[in-house]
């Protein structure tokens, strides 16, 4: 099995910590793995600022690739991380081998994350952010990400962080179609399906040049089913 350069990008409220077991499994199989954390989240939560927009998250990933001297990368974006991997493919395609969207949000040029969300969820999140001066959204409970109650959920709840609110409503600028012609796979997590991503899953399934796979686990597959997730990522990367 050829060694690959995996770059695993977390979603909203999460950080590099969520990939621990998946990254370990990939490294044991001989792959190179990096797990950047986006500004204001995880171990970078002290950098939370009203100046953080979706462009900040995109720059985090693009500069990670550049200064990590990473090429031929397999970019894996979970949930909100799907937005940044699409933008990286648009801006530095020569560094990227393929894109894997793990139960991800997908936005088109000029759209924000809120443009592909359920209206009732958008209204709820705007109201929550207003309680914090529009700076951030407090994290929801781990169970909302499909993590079952118990020690696993306790750990996730302890590590989730507030999310910079402007990243949800600032639009993405893409010069090319999503994926920019690179090989793309969408992995849908189905037990239970994350309702907020229904439109994104449907769009991905309609793309004739994309691969579409499913994992029978909750939205936080890298936490609830790390070995199955790692196995599927390795299969797709070959």
Active-site residue set: 79
**Do 7 and 34 form a contact (C-beta atoms < 8 A)?**
yes
CA dist 7 and 196 (Å) reads: 25
| Closest to 147 measured CA to CA, from 129, 160, 137 | 160
| Closest to 186 measured CA to CA, from 118, 93, 51, 86 | 86
Measure Cα distances from 212 to 39, 70, 137, 206 in Å. 30, 26, 31, 9
For helices 54-67 and 81-91, angle between their N-to-C axes, nearest 10 degrees: 60
Give 106's strand partners. none
CA atoms lying within 13 Å on the CB side of residue 73 = 27
């Amino acid at each position: 099995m050829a060694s690959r350069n995996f770059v695993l990008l977390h979603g909203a409220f999460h950080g590099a910590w969520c990939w621990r077991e998946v990254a370990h499994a990939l490294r044991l199989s001989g792959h190179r793995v990096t797990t950047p954390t986006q500004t204001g989240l995880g171990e970078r939560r002290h950098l939370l600022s009203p100046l953080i927009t979706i462009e900040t998250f995109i720059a985090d990933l693009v500069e990670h690739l550049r200064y990590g001297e990473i090429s031929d990368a397999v970019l894996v974006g979970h949930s909100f991380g799907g937005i940044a991997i699409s933008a990286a493919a648009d801006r530095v395609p020569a560094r990227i081998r393929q894109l894997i969207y793990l139960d991800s949000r997908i936005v088109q040029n000029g759209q924000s994350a809120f443009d592909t969300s359920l209206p009732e969820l958008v209204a709820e999140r705007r109201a929550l952010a207003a309680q914090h001066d529009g700076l951030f959204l407090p994290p929801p409970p781990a169970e909302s990400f499909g993590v079952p109650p118990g020690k696993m959920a306790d750990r996730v709840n302890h590590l989730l962080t507030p999310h910079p609110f402007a990243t949800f409503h600032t639009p993405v600028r893409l010069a090319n179609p999503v994926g920019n012609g690179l090989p793309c796979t969408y992995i849908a997590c189905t037990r239970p399906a994350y309702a907020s991503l229904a439109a994104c899953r449907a769009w991905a399934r309609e793309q004739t040049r994309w691969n579409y796979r499913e994992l029978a686990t909750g939205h936080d597959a890298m936490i609830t089913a790390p070995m199955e997730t790692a196995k599927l990522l390795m299969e797709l990367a070959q």
